[in-house]
Chains A and B, each alone.
Chain A
Amino acid sequence: MKEIVIISGKGGTGKTSITAAFAALSTQAVFADCDVDAADMHLLLAPLSQQSYPFISGNIARIDAQNCTGCDTCNSLCRFDAVRPGSPYTIIPSSCEGCGVCVHFCPEKTIEFPPQRCGQWYQSETRFGSMVHAALDIGAENSGKLVSLVRQEARNLAEKHQRELILIDGPPGIGCPVIAATTGANAVLVITEPTCSGKHDLLRVLELTNHFDIPAYICVNKWDINPDMTEEIKTAAQEKGATFVGTIPYDEQITTAQIEGKTIVEWGDTIAANAIKKIWNSFCEQLDLPQ
């Protein structure tokens, strides 16, 4: 079983549109949406049926107002500015790190520490195969752990259905969720765009994949917005050890397809659809993936 993660560094370069198109082209894959705080792939893959499960992770402090004496111990020990002094003292949930220091050191033992529901995850059936995705609750923590959970559930599902490939739509950035989505994967495909920002962010992502020793492939979306920059990116990425797999032209039809809830390869024989099909075939060949 192989795990391929599509990431970008910079947001909005086309990760989800391209992952969903790959999903439509694949025949042997399970899909996972690991961009858990702004998950969008379900908008294109439109689950036909869905089972949902709560994601419980960590704990959150809650002061029992009745016994609070206002001694300020919690506030003086909290390093996350999560205690609001007053009568009674209260915890700001969106700032609470769940470290439990206030709970342990409260002289009145009046701070509760219930397990926290941080979101939901789903196992869905789509017109292209099974998919695992999730939604982090508003303001909730632990997105990295939810990413790990989605990946694990996708692996379980792939094993159960004897699928040989897991296609993962990854989060933007280089921090905790990206590390959780990519470590141990067989390869990442970085979708970038021919802009100074795209290049800057791509190079940081490639440093990350080198740091964790994950083979990296790159693809330039909307390449014709700046052909010179596309060349520059290709060279810079190859210097960092990444393999170039192709370019996709700017195509307004990607937005039109999205509005219709379709992947670009279902929408028609557009210039982007054709480029994506070529990239998929070459990527499968290079990585020896089931097409």
Chain B
Amino acid sequence: MKIAIASGKGGTGKTTLATALAQAATEPIQLLDCDVEEPNAHIFMKPQLTEREAVTIAIPVLDTDRCTNCGKCGELCQFNAIVTIADQTMIFSDLCHSCGGCILVCPEKALQEQPKTIGYIDTGHSQSLNGDTITFVKGTLNIGEAMAPPVIKQVKKMVDPNQLTILDCPPGTSCPMITAITGSDFVLLVTEPTPFGLHDLKLAVETLRLMDIPFAVVVNRAGCGDNRVDDYCSDEQIPLLLQIKDDRRVATAYSRAEGLLTALPEMVTELRALLGRIDNCVAAAQRSLS
């Protein structure tokens, strides 16, 4: 089962929840950090990273001897990554989305694909409170690269369908977040009880409804704001599965790279119960499909 932890608004506690769930799990699991622009889960899990592989995308290179500057590649390219002006064809690899169209359309076979490194994947291990193995995977986008989704997709290739997998997702509701949550069995949306939290939660809810993935809400820093998130969830019949109280001890522990369960060890019971409730939600969603 794949559980994605997402949010809409940044800084609501996705990584706090994802790492605490991983530590609370009572079976060997995987934790995938899909927030490749700013990956943070390793700061709390302190995994032993043993392997690193590059993430590459395929970009075209031009054989100028073969190129007749017919311009067909540039006509097909939707991203202005190949342009023919007069008798010169130029490639702007930063704009390339690696769709492969130019390679296919070139009548002279003057274009070939070459890998370009845009990030890397680290894998390693950590341990849960019970001593079970947590397989840890982290994706990192290289500085100056614009496109996070190929790195996120590569992280997700490490998913083992036989294990419980927790995905720590990027904030927002656009391409990186959608790439990260696609294919998940369940999404936990972490929010905070503030106007910003509520506004961005609504956007995330609409996204998940469009994608038809079952989801529930977790309220972090409960008590710091107002009741509008609770009211919204009850009006929309969205399960609110967990509240993490607003507690300066959590913030202080977090600042020192200590997780939720270091600050509030008693929460382990609730987190294990949460994993059980998600199991039930997913089973119910699957029953309603069949």
Nearest chain B residue, comparing its CB with the CB of A230:
B255
- One digit per residue, 1 when the CB lies within 8 angstroms of any chain A CB and 0 when it does not, for chain B 193-228 equals 011100110010011001100000000000011100
A229 CA / B254 CA spacing, docked (Å): 12
Give the total of B residues in contact with A, Cβ under 8 Å.
58
Q: Is the CB of A38 within 8 A of B172?
A: yes
A-chain residues with CB within 8 Å of residue B78 when the two chains form the complex? 58-59, 98-100
Q: Is the CB of B97 within 8 A of A252?
A: no
Q: A100-B76, A175-B145, A179-B146 are in contact. Are A259 and B255 (CB under 8 A)?
A: no
A261 CA / B228 CA spacing, docked (Å): 14
- One digit per residue, 1 when the CB lies within 8 angstroms of any chain B CB and 0 when it does not, for chain A 165-189 equals 0000001111111110000000000
A152 CA / B78 CA spacing, docked (Å): 22
Residue among A13, A222, A229, A259 facing the most chain B CB atoms (10 A cut-off): A259
A108 CA / B255 CA spacing, docked (Å): 59
A-chain residues with CB within 8 Å of residue B98 when the two chains form the complex? 79
Q: Is the CB of A175 within 8 A of B203?
A: no
- One digit per residue, 1 when the CB lies within 8 angstroms of any chain B CB and 0 when it does not, for chain A 96-107 equals 011111001100
A-chain residues with CB within 8 Å of residue B146 when the two chains form the complex? 144, 175-176, 179
- One digit per residue, 1 when the CB lies within 8 angstroms of any chain B CB and 0 when it does not, for chain A 75-110 equals 001011000000000000011011111001100000
Instruction: Tell whether B176 is near chain A: CB-to-CB under 8 Å.
Output: yes
Per a CB cutoff under 8 Å, which of B12, B207, B255 touches A138? B207
Instruction: Tell whether A136 is near chain B: CB-to-CB under 8 Å.
Output: yes
A16 CA / B11 CA spacing, docked (Å): 12
A195 CA / B253 CA spacing, docked (Å): 9
Chain B proximity of A44: nearest CB distance (Å): 8
- Which of A156-164, A199-207, A265-273, A280-288 is near enough to bind chain B? A199-207
A9 CA / B195 CA spacing, docked (Å): 21
B-chain residues with CB within 8 Å of residue A200 when the two chains form the complex? 38, 40, 43
A175 CA / B147 CA spacing, docked (Å): 6
Nearest chain B residue, comparing its CB with the CB of A227:
B255
- One digit per residue, 1 when the CB lies within 8 angstroms of any chain A CB and 0 when it does not, for chain B 3-21 equals 0000111111001000000
Residue among A9, A40, A198 facing the most chain B CB atoms (10 A cut-off): A40
Q: A105-B104, A172-B38, A211-B143 are in contact. Are A11 and B171 (CB under 8 A)?
A: yes
B-chain residues with CB within 8 Å of residue A201 when the two chains form the complex? 38, 40
Q: Is the CB of A104 within 8 A of B76?
A: yes
Instruction: Tell whether A71 is near chain B: CB-to-CB under 8 Å.
Output: no
Q: Is the CB of B37 within 8 A of A40?
A: no
Q: Is the CB of B175 within 8 A of A174?
A: no
B-chain residues with CB within 8 Å of residue A259 when the two chains form the complex? 194-195, 225-226
Q: A104-B76, A144-B146, A200-B38 are in contact. Are A12 and B10 (CB under 8 A)?
A: yes
Instruction: Tell whether B182 is near chain A: CB-to-CB under 8 Å.
Output: yes
- One digit per residue, 1 when the CB lies within 8 angstroms of any chain A CB and 0 when it does not, for chain B 211-252 equals 100000000000011100000000000000000000010011
A127 CA / B257 CA spacing, docked (Å): 41
A208 CA / B142 CA spacing, docked (Å): 10
Interface positions, chain A 1-31, Cβ under 8 Å from B, are 8-13, 16
Instruction: Tell whether B178 is near chain A: CB-to-CB under 8 Å.
Output: yes
A-chain residues with CB within 8 Å of residue B182 when the two chains form the complex? 94-95
- One digit per residue, 1 when the CB lies within 8 angstroms of any chain B CB and 0 when it does not, for chain A 193-232 equals 1111110110010011001100000000010011001000
Q: Is the CB of A175 within 8 A of B176?
A: yes
A-chain residues with CB within 8 Å of residue B248 when the two chains form the complex? 225
Per a CB cutoff under 8 Å, which of B12, B147, B174, B254 touches A37? B174
Instruction: Tell whether A68 is near chain B: CB-to-CB under 8 Å.
Output: no
Q: Is the CB of A136 within 8 A of B255?
A: no
A13 CA / B255 CA spacing, docked (Å): 12
Q: Is the CB of B211 within 8 A of A139?
A: yes
A-chain residues with CB within 8 Å of residue B255 when the two chains form the complex? 193-196, 198, 225-226, 229
B-chain residues with CB within 8 Å of residue A37 when the two chains form the complex? 172-174, 177, 203
B-chain residues with CB within 8 Å of residue A143 when the two chains form the complex? 172, 174-175
Q: Is the CB of B147 within 8 A of A12?
A: no
Instruction: Tell whether B100 is near chain A: CB-to-CB under 8 Å.
Output: yes
B-chain residues with CB within 8 Å of residue A198 when the two chains form the complex? 255
A-chain residues with CB within 8 Å of residue B11 when the two chains form the complex? 10-13, 172
Per a CB cutoff under 8 Å, which of A38, A58, A101 touches B101? A101
Instruction: Tell whether A43 is near chain B: CB-to-CB under 8 Å.
Output: yes
Chain A proximity of B77: nearest CB distance (Å): 8
Q: Is the CB of B76 within 8 A of A38?
A: no
Q: Which B residues are closer than 8 A to A by beta carbons?
A: 7-12, 15, 37-38, 40, 43, 76, 78-79, 97-101, 104-105, 141, 143-148, 170-178, 182, 194-196, 199-200, 203, 206-207, 210-211, 224-226, 248, 251-252, 254-257
3 closest cross-chain pairs (CB), A and B: A11-B10, A12-B11, A99-B99
Q: List 18 A-B contacts (CB under 8 A).
A: A10-B38, A38-B203, A58-B78, A77-B100, A99-B78, A99-B97, A104-B101, A139-B173, A139-B211, A172-B38, A175-B147, A196-B256, A197-B254, A204-B143, A208-B144, A225-B251, A226-B255, A252-B224
Could you list 7 further interchain pairs (A-B, Cβ under 8 angstroms) beyond the known A174-B38, A259-B194? Answer: A8-B10, A11-B7, A104-B76, A175-B148, A178-B37, A196-B257, A258-B196
